[in-house]
Amino acid sequence: RISPNLEEALRSLRSETTPRAIWTDAICIDQSNIQERGHQIGLMQNIHSFASNVVIWLGPATPATATGIDILSFLAGSDGFDGKCSWEHLSPALLCDGLNDVMGRPYFRRMWVVQEAALAGKIDMRIGDYSVPWQRGQAARRFLFRLKFAEISPKWEHAGLHEVDMRPLIEVLEMNVRQDYRERGHVLRPGLLDIAHHIRHRVASDRRDKIFALLGLSPDGFDIHGLVDYTMSTEEVFRAFHGLVEKECFPEMEDLDMDEEVGLDPDRALPRLA
């Protein structure tokens, strides 16, 4: 006998036209057999690493789900965003309800999320018929970049979205990115954006100082002198900081058209919120 949540997931994920192989621990592991459970746990690394797609099933949709998925799809860059948001006219209360609908799902509190998220090469986060997909590597790094930059931006706070706890999704992305770095023999060290995001709740009477106070931590070779300019507006300061952390996070893309190749144009990295 399977749980109602698993039944809903299987019905949502099945294809009516082609066979589809789905592995789920609740069915594929005899939960009453401790020997089998112990053996299968030893195989989970390979199961998640070699899966063609790891589905994060968050449950059925609610009336608030569409707004939350729209925001996350925008930040993931998975929807070919053309410069306008379908939800930018909505009130802060509706935007918060949408994100809380996603972030408050029980899945994010489960311990097994750690292994699933870290090892997956391709992830499809689903709620009902809604989906936010991304792949390990540059796509996951881009999603994490845009999400962290959104959270430090004045626009995010003005919209009231700073009250939404985005840590569950950020942790999933960070684990996936770290595992990718580890497998390629690299160590993921905190950068300027990570620092700015970590201390974003600290107070400054002038919002521009929340950026200027960090510039002394810039990596060697980064020219920061022209960035400390109090004649710039807050929006201009955050735009300049966006360009700086973009170069730090994506050094391999510095000589390419960032907007075309990675989709990190500052006008597109944030929702246009009132």
Identify the pLDDT of residue 266. Answer: 45
Whether the per-residue pLDDT at 258 is higher than 70: the answer is no
Best CA proximity match to 249, nearest among 174, 199, 185, 158: 174
Q: Is the Cβ–Cβ distance between 143 and 79 less than 8 Å?
A: no
Within-domain flag for 164: yes
Tens-digit pLDDT profile for residues 136-189: 888 999 999 999 999 998 888 888 888 899 998 999 999 899 888 888 888 888
User: DSSP string spanning 156-200?
Assistant: HHHTTGGGS--HHHHHHHHHHHHHHHHHTT------HHHHHHHTT
**Residue 184 corresponds to which tokens in the numbers above?**
């390629």
Number of domains observed in the structure of the chain: 1
Identify the pLDDT of residue 87. Answer: 67
**Residue 207 corresponds to which tokens in the numbers above?**
């919002």
pLDDT averaged over the chain?
A: 82
Residue 176: what are its φ and ψ, rounded to 5°? -65, -45
Q: Which domain holds residue 117?
A: 51-269
Tens-digit pLDDT profile for residues 59-106: 999 999 999 999 999 888 843 334 456 667 888 899 999 999 999 999
Give the residue with greater pLDDT, 15 vs 100.
100
Comparing 56-60, 91-95, 112-116, the range with the smallest average pLDDT is 112-116
**Residue 153 corresponds to which tokens in the numbers above?**
């931006």
Give the residue with greater pLDDT, 253 vs 189.
189
Within-domain flag for 106: yes
Within-domain flag for 6: no
Identify the pLDDT of residue 84. Answer: 57
Measured distance CA(191)–CA(193) in Å, rounded:
5
**Residue 116 corresponds to which tokens in the numbers above?**
């699933």
What is the rounded average pLDDT of the residues 217-241? 80
Within-domain flag for 12: no
The share of the chain scoring above pLDDT 90, in percent, equals 29
Within-domain flag for 76: yes
Within-domain flag for 169: yes
Whether the per-residue pLDDT at 54 is higher than 70: the answer is yes
Query: Across-strand partners of 126?
Result: 57, 131
Comparing 63-72, 148-157, 223-232, 238-247, the range with the smallest average pLDDT is 223-232
Within-domain flag for 116: yes
Tens-digit pLDDT profile for residues 33-51: 889 888 888 888 888 888 8
Within-domain flag for 31: no
Measured distance CA(27)–CA(23) in Å, rounded:
8
